[in-house]
Amino acid sequence: GNDQKLQLASASIGMSMAWAMGDIDRMEFYLSALPNKSRDKSFCKALLAVYRNNFDDAAKFINDAREEMESDLSSHITESYNRGYAQVFMCQMLTELEEVVMYKMAPDDRERQVAIIGAWRHRLSGIQQDVGMWQKLLRLRSMVLRPILDLDTWIKYVNMSRKSGQMRIARDAILQLVDDEALYMEEIHRGEVDALTPKFALQAQEYMQMKMQLAQQPQGFQGGGIPLGLNGRNTGQSSSSWEGRTRRFSIVSGSNTSVNAPLDVAIRLSQQPALVYMYLKYKWAANEKREAYQMLETFASDYASRIGFDLHNPDTFAEHIDARVLANLSGHAEAADDARTIHLLARFYFKQAEWLTTVEQSVLLLQEAQAKAGLSTGESSYARRLVRRESIGVRRGRGSVSGSGQASRDGIRGSDDGRSKQDAQYLYELKGGRIDKAILEAYHAATVLDRKWYKAWHQLALR
């Protein structure tokens, strides 16, 4: 009856949650509640067998699942595309579970493992942009392929979750990526695993150095610690090769109560620019615009210093790009890394200009609305002085502009509209009267770094 259906639905949900947490004992508990001779039960048995490296049992249960869904597949395909697609997707899950077994059975055959990973990435291009489906596939692949080694795929998944408004899923995925990167860097440093490439070995070394550097700051792993001047720049007197790296720890969070505050600290240690860029876009969408922009600007400055790019004199760098491209085509690993950094840095500057444009438009609309509401000049001046005074307090580390706003269940603040306006006002005043110049500089930098990127050229032409 209804009670049995409810029990089956609860068992299915419980099994999914246990699988997501990697809790094998709980998976076994929910497995007993699933109906016999069902596709789901056979698939879950195969999962447990793979976790335990019982590959013969896994192959048997995969075949059982295929036989049990054979009749459903033909009938659902004739009914509708959506019902048929779900069945075909399940077939793909079974195929990829077989490939997980193949991956595990060839621990020393790197060529075969790379071929399997390549097939997985190619196959994603034919999958619907559905968060639930991608989530299941990535969970399956994570049994053998750690997230940080499949970064491009995970970034697509996070961006898809963010664009569809599923911010909590996006945040959970970012947490998983950041945690896995930290674990992988420390394992390499301790010699517990071999670095997949020389680049990872260098990143592990720099990660540990930056971690020690951050731990020595007065506020430890809570962020901050390097004094800031009122212009938001590092007031330290000594300059070294670490100046660009340590500057990222000097960003004072506008709100220490944010659910993303621990992530802010962790992301500053990240050695993956693409991961940082993805997180900052999430943070902006989560309505933490002030911190997102400040971190974007700081990281862009860091990455630019690594390749010798000057935002205020970008044309001199353009002369060296062709030489770097030729070196990249010749197969030099260092040149290839530089080419990726250049490509991504163009996105950093483009996003910087895009966000400043949004800030400018928001403030101008607010000023226009205040003018139409008939506010007196005295009131407007007082309001501007109040915001400026509170903004300076934030930059000195006093806390948020408003001092209010609690983190919601999805990590997005209450009173989003109010905070968005305050952040826009803060950033607008931070740039003073040179916001238009800053936007033009950033768009121009994007066109220099990626001369074939039509989007950057188009936006620069519109300015």
- pLDDT, residue 314, reads 87
Determine the Cα–Cα distance for residues 53 and 51; give it in Å rounded to an integer: 6
- pLDDT, residue 366, reads 82
- pLDDT, residue 14, reads 84
- pLDDT, residue 285, reads 95
399 phi-psi bin (left φ>0, alpha ψ -120 to 50, beta other): left
| Cβ neighbourhood burial of 207 (10 Å; 0-12, 13-18, 19+) | buried
Mean residue pLDDT across the chain: 79
Assess whether pLDDT exceeds 90 at residue 302: yes
For residue 231 the two structure tokens come to: 């212009």
Residue 428 banded pLDDT, cuts 50, 70, 90: confident
Assess whether pLDDT exceeds 60 at residue 437: yes
- Of residues 366 and 278, more confidence is placed in 278
Task: Determine which of 138-152, 167-181, 381-395 has the lowest per-residue pLDDT on average.
Answer: 381-395
- pLDDT, residue 249, reads 54
Assess whether pLDDT exceeds 50 at residue 8: yes
Residues whose CB falls within 8 Å of the CB of residue 348, separated by 6 or more in sequence, listed in order:
277, 296, 299, 300, 303
- pLDDT, residue 395, reads 39
Three-state DSSP string of the chain: CHHHHHHHHHHHHHHHHHHHHCCHHHHHHHHCCCCCCCHHHHHHHHHHHHHCCCHHHHHHHHHHHHHHHHHHHHHHHHHCHHHHHHHHHHHHHHHHHHHHHHHHCCCCCHHHHHHHHHHHHHHHCCCCCCHHHHHHHHHHHCCCCCHHHHHHHHHHHHHHHHHCCCHHHHHHHHHHHHHHHHHHHHHHHHCCCCCCCHHHHHHHHHHHHHHHHHHCCCCHHHCCCCCECCCCCECCCCCCCCHHHHHHHHCCCCCCCCCCHHHHHHHCCCCCHHHHHHHHHHHHHCCCHHHHHHHHHHHHHHHHHHHCCCCCCCHHHHHHHHHHHHHHHCCCHHHHHHHHHHHHHHHHHHHHHHHHHHHHHHHHHHHHHHHHCCCCHHHHHHHHHHHHHHHHHHHCCCCCCCCCCCECCCCCECCHHHHHHHHHHHHHHHHHHHHHHHHHHHHHHHHHHCCCCHHHHHHHHHC
- pLDDT, residue 226, reads 32
Assess whether pLDDT exceeds 60 at residue 160: yes
pLDDT in tens, 371-398: 888 754 444 454 454 444 444 443 333 3
Assess whether pLDDT exceeds 70 at residue 348: yes
Determine the Cα–Cα distance for residues 273 and 253; give it in Å rounded to an integer: 20
Core vs surface per residue 314-334: b (16+ CB within 10 A) or e = beebeeebeebeeebeeeeee
Is the Cβ–Cβ distance between 48 and 65 less than 8 Å?
no
User: According to the per-residue pLDDT averaged within each range, which of 142-146, 215-219, 395-399 is highest?
Assistant: 142-146
Q: By percentage, how much of the chain surpasses pLDDT 90?
A: 43
Task: Pick the closest to residue 352 from 454, 427, 245 (CA basis).
Answer: 427
Query: What is the Cβ-side half-sphere exposure of residue 191, based on CA atoms within 13 angstroms?
Result: 0
Determine the Cα–Cα distance for residues 269 and 104; give it in Å rounded to an integer: 31
